[in-house]
Structure 1
């Protein structure tokens, strides 16, 4: 009886093919609901950044310690927001 080689059971990485909806060459504008959601998110982030700058100014006026936790408490934002947002991080870590 001749021995047969078994097919390899290892999974080989297949090259990813772009999905029809999301391709790198598709330059369609986003859907209206997506545009509205993005605008709302930008507005909310902008308001939070303004609260961060106001909180830092208030802490400096009061000669209180400016720390990430203190700024987050005063500005009513999360510490994660301060660390993840580059503008908020630069403002809160600048002493």
Structure 2
């Protein structure tokens, strides 16, 4: 995750925050799939989702932003390509 975010592996200043986002992503995936553990094939999806959470910190709830002639829009919820991967592992609730 650090490599994908461009954070030096030796930089531990954000480790607690990164772990929190990884846990949030794990909990979201488990809730959506009704599984008790994340399958190995979804671990990279967990990291992708955690990176999205990390990149959205401070802009939660914002759907668009304009400043100095530059306009940005943000996708709400989990992006479709990630949701598709997660739902492929979905089981019926117990």
Specify which structure has the higher proportion of strand. 2
Q: Going by fraction, where is helix more abundant, 1 or 2? A: 1
**TM-score, normalised via structure 2 length:** 0.34
**TM-score, normalisation: structure 1:** 0.33
The structure showing larger relative contact order (alpha-carbon pairs under 8 Å, at least 6 residues apart) is 2
